Structure 1
Amino acid sequence: MTPISEDYLDELRRLRRARDRMDREFAQPLDVPALAKTAFMSSAHFSRRFREAYGETPYSYLMTRRIERAKALLRRGDMSVTDVCFAVGAMSLGSFSSKFTQLVGETPSAYRARDHSQMQDLRVCQVMSVTRPRKPSSSGEAPAQPDP
């Protein structure tokens, strides 16, 4: 077995630092150049290495975090879809709604209107697991069924 180089481990730490920034600052205007600076890499190298490490592009990862947070805000029911869109850092209601529908399998309005009372008795980690946005299949179709 070949030992893992210290340089490789350092690169993974820097990628994780950028990913952690996306998790914390998802509502801020983040772009690849800013995230690449966090990881001390060029934009192109950062994008390639992030995809290799996490299986998706930095933009896709960030949008998934934003949709995840949007679902939590929509379940509360006290904010409009437009307010939620901008609260999670999306710049366009149309793009946000399209991405939400693609990942969740229903529109933000339909998701907000649904009864979410069955989740009241679940622990936060269970709710996060059950409601995590699902990636579309390789054919680009939305998930077969919306989450509960």
Structure 2
Amino acid sequence: MKMKIDTPQMTLWKIEELHNTPPHIHEQEFQITVPIYGSCLFVGQHRAYELASSEGFVQYPEVPHELHVSEGSGVIVLQVNRGSFAEFTKQRPLELDMRQQIDPAELNVQFRKWVTALLLGQTEPLAVQETETQVLYFLSRVLKGNQTNKRDAALASAAVADRYMTQVLDYMHEHFTDKINIDTLAAIALQSRYHFIRSFKSILGMTPYQYMLALRVEEAKSRLGRSEATVTEISFRLGFSSTSQFYRVFAKTVGVTPEQYRSGLRR
């Protein structure tokens, strides 16, 4: 089941099925993603975050991100216009922690109330505006912020401002199943190999190779869920040098073997 409701200031989502969104940007919206049961993979600032129930993630506007929800999981996503959010929270700085703890049961109850109110009063502007205010009040109450956000915001700005690094990431997303040459990436970034590796890690928190492996593992998880290909077939199609390498990387990243992961999806 997938539900989406739009209002002038926000979009409310509830996703309870296999769902994958490609990398995209919201120019004006904050996105708050919270698994209410199960888990999901959120990729923000080109870094993967495995979110379990009650672990929310706040994505700032203008930053590329993607969302992957597996079968058996449920996620609520709130996309809120930054202008209305900033106005509503003007009594305190709008500096939010990207990682949040949000009670999934409370959020689920509130979400049902918001959806009911919007469906019953969708032709009445006042009813819609009141519901928008209720959503904003809830978020201003539960979302936390502190000085670490200055570092996070700087990191986000660096990722957005460095157009060449963005081109590197685009290239990696297109070619992560191929044999990627570090000199090719450095050339795209207009840096020497040494400085490229340092700048890549400073922005993304991992080396180019680690990032490529993360992309392969996430694609492997998707293929394990949607195809009947064998683990060996998947490993070679994704560019792993051997099935044993695939096993090691997958188990280290996900915590279970590929077969165990596939079995868990199909229970």
Please list the CA deviations of residues 48-67 of structure 1 after superposition, one character each: whole Å capped at 9, or x if unmatched.
00001111111111100000
Pair 1:67–1:57, CA change in 2 (3 A): same
Per-residue CA deviation, residues 4-40 of structure 1 (Å, 9 max, x unaligned), is: 9xxx889821111111111111111113222112222
Q: How far apart, in 2, do the equivalents of 1:22 and 1:78 lie?
A: 26
Deviation per CA, 1:92-134: give whole Å up to 9, x if none. Answer: 22121111001101011211222347xxxxxxxxxxxxxxxxx
Q: Name which of 222, 226, 236 aligns with 1:76.
A: 226
- Pairing 1:86–2:236 present: yes
> Residues 159 and 165 of structure 2 are in contact (CA less than 8 Å); yes or no, is this contact kept in structure 1?
no
- C-alpha distance 113-49 of structure 1, shift in aligned 2 (>3 A): same
Distance 2:182 2:262 in 1: 31
Contact kept in structure 1, 2:178 and 2:239, CA below 8 Å:
yes
One of 82, 103, 110 as aligned partner of 2:260: 110
Q: Which runs of 5+ in 1 are unaligned?
A: 118-148
Greater strand content: 2
Identical counterparts, % of pairs: 32
Higher helix share: 1
1:110 maps to a residue whose letter is: Q
2:198 to 34, 48, 57: 48
1:13-28 → structure 2 map (5 Å cutoff)? 13-28=163-178
1:96/1:23 Cα in 2 relative to 1: closer, same or farther (>3 Å)? Answer: same
* Corresponding residue for residue 63 of structure 1: 213
1:30 to 177, 180, 195: 180
Distance 1:52 1:78 in 2: 38
Greater Cα radius of gyration, structure 1 or 2:
2
Cross-structure match for 1:120 = none
Q: Using a 3 Å threshold, how does the CA distance of structure 1 residues 9 and 106 change in structure 2: closer, same or farther?
A: closer
Q: Highest relative contact order (Cα 8 Å, sep 6+), 1 or 2?
A: 1
Aligned length: 111
Q: Tell me, yes or no, if the aligned pair for 2:159 and 2:203 is still in contact at 8 Å.
A: no
User: Is residue 28–residue 89 contact of structure 1 (8 Å, CA) maintained in 2?
Assistant: yes
**Unaligned ranges ≥5, structure 2:** 1-153
TM-score by length of 1: 0.67
Alpha-carbon spacing, 1:92–1:11, altered in 2? closer, same or farther (3 Å)? farther
Partner AA of 2:193 in structure 1: S
Structure 1 runs (4+) deviating above 6 angstroms are 8-11
Q: Distance in 2 between matches of 1:19 and 1:116?
A: 32
**Pair 68,61 (structure 1): closer, same or farther in 2 beyond 3 Å:** same
Give the direction of change, closer, same or farther, for the CA distance of 1:18–1:77 in structure 2 (3 Å limit).
same
Check 1:9–1:55 CA distance in 2 against 1; reply closer, same or farther (3 A cut): closer
TM-score (normalizing by structure 2): 0.38
Q: Distance in 2 between matches of 1:11 and 1:33?
A: 22
